[in-house]
Amino acid sequence: MAKIALITGATSGIGEACAHLFAREKYNLILTGRRVDRLEKLAKKLNTKYNVEVAVSQFDVRNREEVTENLEALPAKWKKVNVLINNAGLSQGLDPIQNGNLDDWDTMIDTNVKGLLYVSKIVANWMISNKAGHIINIGSIAGKEVYPNGNVYCASKHAVDALNKGMRLDLVSHGIKVSAIHPGAVETEFSEVRFKGDKERAKKVYDGFDPLVADDIAETIWFVVSRPAHVNINDMVVMPTAQANAVTIFRG
């Protein structure tokens, strides 16, 4: 029977790259996100190209009721999830704490922390019933270091780091693997979202060096997922060669 991966934030960037890679590896997929047109287009493409089954589930991870209703409404066969990729996330703004926008703070905490928790609780219980599974949490270098003006985004990703460790402890006796991947700069829609559609400012983030691309992270996730049954990779930090830490980027 084909394995199943549930990917949050599959409409773009790292999540979309994971959808392609896991479909290539013959996983059936549950793709989630808010932009349902993108999810449906991607589902059709992957079904045609790789002959895998793809279910689309549209919800905003910030909305507890939406998450619960949509995930619980999936037919029983889709609840045998082998891999959950907790990828949906974002940054909003890059301002000193004293100038921070409270709506941006709520959005980051509600998406990156609470949204990840809402999805994880439901899927972890499915995995406990199935006596197996693997949860991949997408953190960030911002969850390992704090950089100027990164304050609340960094706090939200430090929370992901802590939750990854907490899940590992709580799920170890159920045979469920838990791993975190913490990328440095990956060129996706991330900076455009952070700077609220300012494409010029977003582009400058990646000027003068080779950033990671979404496929680099998808391949890393695949490596982590495809280890033998007795191996769990707890934590990985993946950086562009030109980026030594959160703030040190060699722009040649």
> Among residues 18, 20, 28, 33, which is the contact residue for ligand NDP, using CB under 6 A?
33
Q: Please name the amino acid found at residue 219.
A: E
Q: Please name the amino acid found at residue 178.
A: V
Q: Contact, 245 vs 201, CB < 8 A? A: no
Closest distance to ligand NDP from the beta carbon of 249 (Å): 12
Nearer to ligand NDP, 89 or 150 (CB): 89
> Among residues 4, 6, 11, 82, which is the contact residue for ligand NDP, using CB under 6 A?
11
188 is an interface residue for ligand NDP by CB under 6 A: yes
Nearer to ligand 8X3, 133 or 139 (CB): 139
Closest distance to ligand 8X3 from the beta carbon of 103 (Å): 19
Piece of the chain touching ligand NDP by CB under 6 A; list 20-28, 97-105, 126-134, 178-186: 178-186
Nearer to ligand NDP, 66 or 174 (CB): 66
Candidate list 27, 118, 147, 153, residue with the active-site label: 153
Residue 194, both tokens? 């952070």
Active site residue 206: no
Residues between 88 and 147 with contacts to ligand NDP, criterion CB under 6 A? 88-90, 111, 115, 138, 140
Measure the CA–CA gap between 44 and 238, rounded to whole angstroms: 31
Nearer to ligand NDP, 34 or 174 (CB): 34
Nearer to ligand NDP, 128 or 193 (CB): 193
Residue 33, both tokens? 């996100």
Output 54-58 pairs: Cβ under 8 A, ≥24 positions apart: 54/23, 54/28, 54/29, 54/30, 55/28, 55/29, 55/30, 55/31, 56/30, 56/31, 56/32, 57/30, 57/31, 57/32, 58/32, 58/33, 58/34
> Among residues 4, 5, 6, 15, which is the contact residue for ligand NDP, using CB under 6 A?
15
Residues between 218 and 247 with contacts to ligand NDP, criterion CB under 6 A? none
Backbone CA torsion sign across 167, 172, 178, 179: positive
Measure the CA–CA gap between 225 and 7, rounded to whole angstroms: 13
Measure the CA–CA gap between 198 and 93, rounded to whole angstroms: 11
> Among residues 94, 109, 155, 193, which is the contact residue for ligand NDP, using CB under 6 A?
193
Measure the CA–CA gap between 20 and 104, rounded to whole angstroms: 31
Q: Which of ligand 8X3, ligand NDP, none has residue 246 at its interface (CB below 5 to 8 Å by kind)?
A: ligand 8X3
Q: Which residue, judged by CB position, is nearest to ligand 8X3 in the bound state? A: 140
Q: Contact, 81 vs 4, CB < 8 A? A: yes
Could you list the active site residues? 153
